[in-house]
Amino acid sequence: MSLTLHVEVHEGQGPPLLLVHGIYSGRSHWIRNLPGLRSFTTPVVVELLGHGRSPSPEPIEAYHPDWYVEEFERIRESLGAERWYTCGQSLGAALTLRYGLRVPERIAAQAFTNSATAFSDPSWAEGRRKAMEEALAKLDPNDRSAIEGARVNPANNRRLPEDVREALRSDVALHSPLGLARTGLGTVSRGSVRHELGAITVPTLMVVGRFEKAFEENRRYAEATIPNLTTVEVDAGHGVNLDQPEAFNQALRAFFARHPIGG
């Protein structure tokens, strides 16, 4: 099966930066960041399988996190870039960190935000897998109420400006209920890189939203495990880059400046 993600390359004044959103989100997850990021990178925005404008394949194996490693490499090669930057949010962080572990020579530096999936232990992942199997078996593919009312649906974040929420709602309206359920089963339940983090060699920035208390243990684990990790804390919740776009952009600008592509 030949699959490709929906990709949008924005004009920018610097090297390519791969931006990977989390579950339930879409291309608009970066809408508040793009103007600033374009001043020092060329943003490359993708949408995950089952989300927005990307396909929603039927086989669960199509959603395996290792497929994303291959797809990110295909995108990089299509841009003619020898190396680039990456940034993942939530589930997207689990995927970009995995990518950095597999092909570190292609990444000059990487950034990520709060992610339960990336740091999940085997018992959490197994529980998630079982829950997703049950949910998929009972899912009505025409019922969008669970998507629209979900706590993790970024369009439900009332702290965001209304124009941003409307853009996010437009993405969510395109999500496939089956694709999201398969993402939960095929990607989230297999997405942990917790026990590989000590092997990271790519310069890594963690931008932490300090209001998400559930991430505090994972933050401590990351800081104790990832070699030479840089941490920037901002006044934000789970949607770090959406809550504090200027602080997020500045953190990436400063970090990437210390790790130039040609360095």
Beta bridge mates, 233: 208
CB atoms under 10 Å from CB of 9, counted, come to: 13
pTM: 0.95
* Domain 6-257 is found in CATH 3.40.1130.10: no
Low-confidence ranges of the chain (pLDDT < 70): 1, 125-129, 132, 135-140, 263
Are 223 and 229 a contacting pair, CB within 8 Å?
Answer: yes
The string of pLDDT tens digits covering residues 144-162 is 887 888 888 898 998 999 9
Kindly list the distances between the CA atom of residue 23 and the CA atoms of 2, 52, 84, 95, 154, in Å, as whole numbers in the listed order.
22, 11, 23, 11, 9
**What does the pLDDT read at residue 138?**
66
Report the run of H or E that residue 234 belongs to, with start and end.
Answer: strand 230-234
Strand order in the sheet with 107-113: 6-9, 42-47, 16-20, 84-88, 107-113, 204-209, 230-234
| Alpha helix positions (H), 58-110 | 65-79, 91-102
Residue carrying the six token digits 């990437």: 256
**What does the pLDDT read at residue 137?**
63
Report the run of H or E that residue 256 belongs to, with start and end.
Answer: helix 245-257
With 0-12 / 13-18 / 19 or more C-beta atoms within 10 angstroms meaning exposed / middle / buried, residue 238 is buried
Note the maximum CA span of the chain: 52
**What does the pLDDT read at residue 92?**
98
